[in-house]
Structure 1
């Protein structure tokens, strides 16, 4: 089977690259501006990730470096940072990260690949993000692409996590027919993969707070006695409302409805998928990230399992940096399903072009 070429922008640790590689894409080069993510990427792939901000990327130099001409690249991939569009975010709409999606559009126009795929949070469709979404679509259409938009739940494709993200796919117009179709979901809520499916075979993380000798990134977080006592009161699926009032933070002594953030100090349910693994899943104080049975936060490796990274994928950096890399990634299993759909579409497009 022919390998198709791909460039991955905003590659992070490489979740999207990993899935696309398994779907027979040859990632020629990748880019990110986070040095820890780039280190992790280059530690796990044979091809190179470059530490560079997208606004500084010169498309002509990139094409020359990978031996391609404009229009020869099969796929441009990437997910611009999404925090600026998050529905949980408050503050200035003029977040500087928002304009990065337009840099993606610039490189799309300059590279002119056969197809592109962009991932983002569903907030891109809300008032905060819609102006950017509309501009991306308009510029892609002017550049000759038919665009497809869908919100996919990773759990529908075998990821043990409820994670909804928007995907925008464009294909170079060839006649009136469309060749790309989003993959059909494989799982239903009654047979979703669960937290326990994903992590039950992992051994206990060492008590010395170091990585397990056989499982990289599998280590305990240091917890205060008070936080251990707090989490001991929380049942599976529960949160701060289950903690006795005398043990709660002052800001949590009002009702959940008034205080908000109801899922902090929460515990995962073993027989269900997790909620969305975020960039701060390393602490149960920030969400429903406590182990289903043990009085601790899930480890970085357990979070990576819930994101469907294999155990031989080693993350580099501090605990906070690694959690960010894992939480921001496209789950590789979902990326692989999308990759097969993209692969099929490009194959059909190439056959038509040869006629």
Structure 2
């Protein structure tokens, strides 16, 4: 099955599109409501992207933008913003967050474009108890799809990051497609694998002349002194008492506090989840393994699985937000490959031996 056609919603800078294209999809149109993300997508991937609001756009409009007649879409993908399900928001505050409405608009657009398959990506906690109500809503609205959900870790896909995510793959029931199996990597990547060959960024805080987005973040002399005491894999507890932040001086040294704060990465391990605060080790374990600085945007992008020719456009805040919010391309590629194999199973030439036989390493549940 060749030239599978896709539309991507909530595309961000294009991490999911990069992976889907690598998996064999032709992304005919993508959209996001963030202008900087759209500019970055257009610069790196193509002009088939625009700034649109998911709450007001219609499926008919998307199909027209993609140049596709009704019934000709193979995949509709997207990862609606997940801030409503951040660890900082609890109970009703999370469930009533207005950004959760975008999940419902994702389901509406799937209904309107009626693709053969859909791919939904979100934070891991969405697939747990706090997201149960919305998952049930999605399944009810998309009852003409067999829906499979997956709890995955990015490190299972050759990414040097312990980023946990929740995926839902829907296959239209009338196709009789085989269940999706995510192909996982046989090689575990480390921080060294991802960024070990990069030279130090320029000391004058300019961009490296040969490496896009490889820019050192300015830090205070005191923070540089603090991090100099932290070994690989260590954190704020390794900083001498008199140099610690006042809040850390008040915390019990054996428990309490966030252990990753002022943390240094280890060459032989993986990075924790890359967030929009990755350029500040006061926000987590984001100090370089050897150098007394936080990781650069290029190092963070590599830890997310982006190649060096992918340039993020905008100011510092724009770039770190886009990188932190991105779907790691290798993860998107694996999901795309799973969908391709399922859709190929509906083709007349497909035989059982053509389908992957290896058991999934990821957790999968069938939602009926």
Q: The TM-score by the shorter chain falls in which range?
A: over 0.9
Alignment equivalent of 1:218, drawn from 214, 220, 242: 214
Task: State the Cα deviation string for residues 238-289 of structure 1 (Å, max 9, x = none).
Answer: 1111111211111122126765322111110100111111121111110000
Q: Which position in structure 1 is the counterpart of 2:2?
A: 2
Matched, 1:182 2:181: yes
SS in structure 2 at match of 1:182: coil
User: What is the CA–CA distance in structure 2 between the aligned matches of 1:263 and 1:202, rounded to whole Å?
Assistant: 24
Q: Which position in structure 2 is the counterpart of 1:296?
A: 293
User: What is the CA–CA distance in structure 2 between the aligned matches of 1:277 and 1:256, rounded to whole Å?
Assistant: 26
Q: Which position in structure 2 is the counterpart of 1:280?
A: 277
Matches within 5 A, 1:1-355: 2-90=2-90, 92-93=93-94, 94-141=96-143, 144-174=144-174, 177-187=176-186, 192-253=188-249, 254-255=251-252, 259-351=256-348
Q: Which position in structure 1 is the counterpart of 2:356?
A: none
SS in structure 2 at match of 1:117: strand
Q: TM-score, normalised by structure 2?
A: 0.90
CA contact (8 A) 1:59 1:107 kept: yes
Task: State the Cα deviation string for residues 214-241 of structure 1 (Å, max 9, x = none).
Answer: 0010010001000000100111111111
User: What is the CA–CA distance in structure 2 between the aligned matches of 1:185 and 1:67, rounded to whole Å?
Assistant: 34
SS in structure 2 at match of 1:147: strand
Q: Which position in structure 1 is the counterpart of 2:365?
A: none
CA contact (8 A) 1:281 1:303 kept: yes
Answer 1 or 2: which has greater helix percent: 1
Number of positions where the alignment pairs a residue of Structure 1 with one of Structure 2: 347
Instruction: Give 1:48 shift.
Output: 2.1
Instruction: Give 1:163 shift.
Output: 1.1
Unmatched tracts of structure 1, length 5 or more = none
Instruction: Give 1:96 shift.
Output: 1.4
SS in structure 2 at match of 1:286: coil
CA contact (8 A) 2:177 2:346 kept: no
Give the direction of change, closer, same or farther, for the CA distance of 1:336–1:113 in structure 2 (3 Å limit).
same
User: What is the CA–CA distance in structure 2 between the aligned matches of 1:171 and 1:119, rounded to whole Å?
Assistant: 15
Name the Cα RMSD after superposition.
1.8
Q: TM-score, normalised by structure 1?
A: 0.93
